[in-house]
Structures are given as C-alpha cells and as structure tokens.
C-alpha cells in the first residue's frame, strides 16, 4: 500500500482549515492534492481530533497483533489435531 505524503495530523489540520471556511479548491491547490483526495480524507477523518486519531492508531495496532496471535494459535491447534489423527 502506498504511504501518504501527509501525516495524520497534517490531514486533520487541512480538514480543520476547510471547516473554518477556506474554499476546498483553494486548499487542494495550496497543498497539492486532488478534490477526490480531500473528500476521501473528509469521509475517513471527518470529526476526529488528534487524541482520537492517536487512540485509533493504538487500537489498530493492537487489533493487528491480536489477529496475528490468533492465527498462530489456530495453526498450532491444527498441527496438533493432524498429528493426533495420524498416530491412531
């Protein structure tokens, strides 16, 4: 996946400028983004402040780690089950 040129805090700052009343086409030109990118950001990050963004990132990381742990345990269980069926 391609990484963004902008950090989450920069994206939130751009969205705050739009909420303050700056015209969207002007903001897009100023920051070098397309209108589609702006509206995609607004749908994803609209109404989120920096503290919520940090919490969301923490939860995504924890979720990724838990999914990995589940896959590893499930694989171990399948190996044990397969080994038990072959012995008898």
pLDDT at 26 exceeding the cut of 70: yes
- Distance between CA 26 and CA 67 in Å, rounded? 42
Q: What pLDDT is stored for residue 46 in this prediction?
A: 79
- DSSP states along 47-67: T--HHHHHHHHHHHHHHHHHH
- Distance between CA 82 and CA 38 in Å, rounded? 51
- Distance between CA 62 and CA 11 in Å, rounded? 23
pLDDT at 87 exceeding the cut of 60: yes
Whether the CB-CB separation of 48 and 12 falls below 8 Å is answered with yes
Q: What pLDDT is stored for residue 85 in this prediction?
A: 87
pTM here?
Answer: 0.59
What are the tens digits of pLDDT across the range 44-80?
A: 887 777 788 888 889 999 999 999 999 999 999 999 9
Q: What pLDDT is stored for residue 67 in this prediction?
A: 97
Domain boundaries, the chain: 1-48, 58-88
Architecture of the domain whose range is 1-48: Orthogonal Bundle (1.10)
């Amino acid at each position: 996946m391609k990484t963004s040129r902008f950090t989450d805090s920069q994206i939130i700052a751009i969205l705050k400028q739009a909420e303050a009343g700056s015209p969207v086409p002007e903001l897009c030109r100023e920051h070098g983004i397309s209108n589609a990118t702006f509206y995609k950001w607004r749908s994803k990050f609209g109404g989120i402040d920096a503290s919520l963004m940090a919490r969301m990132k923490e939860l995504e990381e924890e979720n990724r780690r838990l999914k990995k742990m589940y896959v590893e345990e499930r694989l171990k269980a399948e190996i044990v089950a397969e080994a038990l069926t072959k012995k008898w």
